[in-house]
Amino acid sequence: MKTQSWLLATVRVLLTIFWYFNIVLAVFAFCVLTWKISTSDYTEFSNPVKYPLNPNTIQLKSLSPTVDNIVLQPDQAIIKMHLKNTFVRVVAAYFFFFAFEALVMSIIYQLRKFFDTVHQHTPFVYDNIRRLKITAICFASLTVLNILLGISSAIILKSNVKDMNLMNMVWHDSLIGFILGAVIYIIADVFKQGFNLQKENEEFV
C-alpha cells in the first residue's frame, strides 16, 4: 500500500512539473516563433532525405569472426533552405504550434485530474471515463497531426526543390499515438464497467 501511495504521489508530482514546464516552454516557443516571423522575411527549413547516389564507401573491420563485409555508406542528407514567410506558411506554422500544444496540454490536464481522483480513492466516476477517452483521442490526434506535418514538408520539398524527384523524403511518422490511444480507450471501457458495477451496488444497497 505504501509503495502504491509513493508511486501515485510521484506520478502526480511529475504531471504537475510537466504541466508548468510545458506552459513555460510553450510561451517561450511562441515568443521565438513570433519574433522570427516578425523580424525576418524568411524562415529556415530543413528535412532529412535519402538520395540514390553512389558516395564513397568505407570498409570497416570486424571484431568477430562471425561477421564480415562491414560497409559504411552514407545515403542520407539534410536539405536546408530559406522559406519566404508567406501568409499561408505563417498560418500553417501557427496552426501546427497551437494544435500540438493544445493536444499536449489536454493530455497532461486530463491525466492530472484522473490521478487526483485516484488519490482521493474515487477512481470509478463518470468524469474519469470521459477524461480517459479525451486522452485517448488526443494521443491518436498527435499521430494524425504528425502525418499532416510530414505531408506539409513533402509539399514544400516537391514544389521548391528541382531535383527532389531523385530523392526520397525521410518520414518520422509513428503509430505509437494510435496504439496508446487504443490502449487508453480500452482502459476507459474497463472503468466504465467498474462505474456501472459501483452504481448498481449503490442502488442495491
- Residue 123 in domain: yes
Q: Which residues, listed in sequence order, are joined to residue 44 by a DSSP beta bridge?
A: 82
Write the pLDDT tens digit of every residue in 152-203.
998 998 888 887 877 888 777 678 888 999 999 999 888 888 777 777 776 6
Residues 6+ apart with CB under 8 A from 156: 45, 47, 83
- Residue 120 in domain: yes
Cβ neighbourhood burial of 21 (10 Å; 0-12, 13-18, 19+): exposed
CA distances from 138 to 17, 18, 181, 185 (A): 20, 17, 7, 11
Q: Which of 101, 174, 113 is nearest to 138 (CA)?
A: 101
Q: Which of 123, 144, 142 is nearest to 187 (CA)?
A: 123
* β-pairing verdict for 42-50 and 70-72: unpaired
Which cell is 152 given?
A: 506539409
Range of the domain at 181: 2-43+85-204
Answer yes or no: is pLDDT of 17 > 90.
yes
Number of domains forming the structure of the chain: 1
- Residue 54 in domain: no
- Residue 138 in domain: yes
Within 13 A of 19's CA, how many CA atoms are on the CB side? 14
- Residue 80 in domain: no
Say whether 59 sits in a helix, a strand or coil.
Answer: strand
- Residue 114 in domain: yes
Answer yes or no: is pLDDT of 204 > 70.
no
- Residue 53 in domain: no
- Residue 19 in domain: yes
Confidence at residue 145, expressed as pLDDT on a 0 to 100 scale:
94
Quick one: CA dihedral 152, 155, 156, 157, positive or negative?
A: positive
Contact 127, 190 (CB under 8 A): no
Confidence at residue 54, expressed as pLDDT on a 0 to 100 scale:
59
Contact 181, 137 (CB under 8 A): yes
Q: Which residue has the higher pLDDT, 28 or 65?
A: 28
| Mean pLDDT score, 11-25 | 94
Write the pLDDT tens digit of every residue in 66-119.
888 887 777 778 889 999 999 999 999 999 999 999 999 999 999 999 999 888
| Mean pLDDT score, 40-62 | 80
Confidence at residue 74, expressed as pLDDT on a 0 to 100 scale:
72
How far apart are the C-alpha atoms of 103 and 140, rounded to whole Å? 10
